[in-house]
Structure formats: C-alpha cells, structure tokens
Amino acid sequence: MSQKCKELFPHEDIVSMIKFYGDPRGSNGQVNRKWYAENIVKWVPPYQLYYSDGNRTKLKSLLLHKKVVPVYTAAYTEVMNTFDPKEINALRLNISAGTFNYRVVRGGSRLSTHAFGIAIDMDPARNPYPKAWKEGMINREFCDILMKHGIWWRGHNGDKDPMHFQCAWRN
C-alpha cells in the first residue's frame, strides 16, 4: 500500500497512535482538553472545500493534529496543481465530511482515527461505507496523490471505506 505512510506515521492500533500523537482520552467519554489545546489546529486547505451537507457550505478550515498538517497541505496542494478548478468540482474532490471528531469507530469500542485529528472523509455520498471502491467513485488519481504523500487510503486493495484517508497505516 503506502510505504510512505509506514515511514512517516504509526500503525493504527491505539498504543502506537497514543505513543506518536499523544492520548486524546479525557474523562466521561470526552476529549482531553489539554491534549486538544496542545495538538489540534485549524488547517486551511489550499483550495476551497465544502461540507457534504448538499448545500455547498464552505469549510473555512478543518481541525487536524499538528503533526499531519504538512502532509495534508502538500498532498492537497499537489491535487490543486494537478486538477484545474472545474475538474476538482466535477470530480467532487472538494466535498468533505470533515476531520476531527472525538468518537469510537462505527460498530466498535476503540477510538477512531478521527478522534486523533488525523483522518479526513471525502464525498461520503459517492463513496459510502461499507463499499469497496470501483470506477465512478472517488477519483483514483486523487487517491494516488494522497497516498504518495503518506496518507493511507481506506479504499485501496478491497478495503471498504473509500471516503476515508488517515495518517496511520493498517495491516
């Protein structure tokens, strides 16, 4: 998959992610406020993203862990330099369901990579979970660009979350 991701970021198991990103767990099922203040920053993407609410609500910024901002910035800058604005819009590479969200994984009990601020979901309406990626879903060249920069794509090799990109690798 993405050797670059393995070089830059930890495995997605909770111990490895806490060692690398710090521990976001607070009390009463809430995020640790000190960890949040020290690690989560506003990221302004290099091109305009819109929230996936169907209303083209502009996202002025997204919340990410400070350690992943340079990688997301480089990857999305390359996307912006590869596709013209009309292509970005037509391919829906500007639709996002967001980044940081302190929660557990769907149907599970472990923290999501979104709870660490290291994941982004792109165009969930066209790239639903749990579906394997196929032509007509998210643009493969876009995914390849993100992977080249070290972002793990959960739509690769039959994985069933094609909207999801994260800075932690899986087996």
According to the model, what pLDDT value does residue 1 have?
A: 55
Q: Is 137 within a domain?
A: yes
From CA 48, how far away is CA 80, in angstroms rounded?
10
What is the CATH classification number for the domain harbouring 14? 3.30.1380
Q: Is 171 within a domain?
A: no
Q: Which residues of the chain have pLDDT under 50?
A: none
Residue-number span of the structural domain to which 125 is assigned: 3-166
Q: Structure pTM?
A: 0.97
In 123-162, the DSSP E strands lie at 152-153
Q: Is 34 within a domain?
A: yes
For residue 58, the cross-strand partners are 50
Tokens of 144: 């390849």
According to the model, what pLDDT value does residue 2 have?
A: 75
Burial of 6 by CB count in 10 Å (0-12 exposed, 13-18 middle, 19+ buried)?
A: middle
According to the model, what pLDDT value does residue 4 have?
A: 96
Q: How many domains does the structure of the chain reveal? A: 1
Q: Report in angstroms the alpha-carbon separations of 119 from 71, 90, 111.
A: 12, 23, 12
According to the model, what pLDDT value does residue 108 have?
A: 86
From CA 11, how far away is CA 132, in angstroms rounded?
22
| 28-75 pLDDT tens trace | 999 999 999 999 999 999 999 999 999 999 999 999 999 999 999 999
From CA 48, how far away is CA 93, in angstroms rounded?
10
